[in-house]
Amino acid sequence: MALSATFLAVSALDRDVDFFLSSFVKATSHDDAQHSCNLQGGTLATAFSEEENLAILKAMTEGLHQKPGGAYIGLGDMGHWNSYLWNENQPMTYSNWAPNQPDHGGGPNGEGCVEMWDNGQWNDLMCTAQIPFVCEVPTPPDQLLLKCSPALQDATGERKCHYEASWEFAHYPKPVGTQPEDEAACAAVGGILAQPRSAAHNQWMASRLRMSTHDSLWIGIKQKDFDSIKYNAWSQGNPDHDGSCIEVWWDGAWNDRDCQAAKAFVCEVPQSE
């Protein structure tokens, strides 16, 4: 499955953030959507201006997921009748309600959460709705520098590495391969298949996907590592143990699957001395 060349991530005009639509799995509730965004180092999307609202709309409607109908954003009254806050702590200073909304369906304990429709307008809905969602995260840097993983570390313990996306460098003649093939390609340049250790690492990879024609990539974590890793970004219902390797989707969510699927990849490579 390939993305169009249109970015799913959109840098807002007023803040240094990226907005992106959730991938293949819908949230089971508003709280589940918020948790998924938190795993990526962000929150459900917030709009403090018309420009930011349009940026969220663009993330919803351009790219692989064309016009999902509606998606959770971070606005809600959360049991406080008609007192809307962004992510429970920031006041609403801009709004774009659809006509006759919010209508508080079900009364004071009814529709306490908010979705954006695919025309940019807002609608209140039950917080248990199973729909896609839009996250915002700090805009990842152009190049990610990090302390090398133990497999690449030197005696000082301070060696620096960087991430490389396979489709962006000519020294990866085959930018798409099976997970074992991609591991070998990283080894050939003195690196390893990336093993993200934080949301910042994970979102750097996801952001590169969102600016590419690929919808997923392999990382270097395998089933034997599932119980020992300190950071994870599993999508809803995963791992479901239908494969022993991990792919990362364009929103940063993880899915385990068979290692023989052909995918792009990201390598962790030591910085040149």
Q: Is residue 238 part of a domain?
A: yes
Q: Is residue 17 part of a domain?
A: yes
The dihedral through the CA atoms of 229, 234, 239, 243 has a sign that is negative
DSSP assigned state of 223: G
Whether residues 128 and 151 fall in one domain:
no
Residues 19 and 109 occupy one common structural domain: yes
- Please indicate, yes or no, whether residues 194 and 218 belong to a single structural domain of this protein: yes
Which of 106, 123, 138 is a domain's end point?
138
Q: Closest Cα partner for 256 from 264, 266, 246, 265?
A: 246
Q: In this structure, are 119 and 181 located in the same domain?
A: no
User: Could you read off the pLDDT of 1-34 as tens digits, one per residue?
Assistant: 333 333 445 555 568 899 999 988 889 999 999 9
Containing 174, the helix (H) or strand (E) segment is none
CATH number, domain of 217, equals 3.10.100.10
pLDDT tens column, 208-254: 999 998 999 999 999 998 888 999 999 988 999 999 999 999 999 99
117 with 224, same domain: the answer is: no
Provide the residue type at 53 as one letter: N
Judge if 153 and 255 occupy the same domain. yes
Q: Which of 138, 163, 195 marks a domain boundary?
A: 138
Q: Contact at 8 Å (CB) between 249 and 206?
A: yes
One domain, residues 165 and 91: no
Residues 151 and 108 in one domain: no
Does residue 202 share a domain with residue 91?
no
pTM: predicted TM-score of the whole model, two decimal places: 0.89
Number of domain units in the chain: 2
Domain ranges, residue 169: 145-270
Inside any domain, residue 1:
no
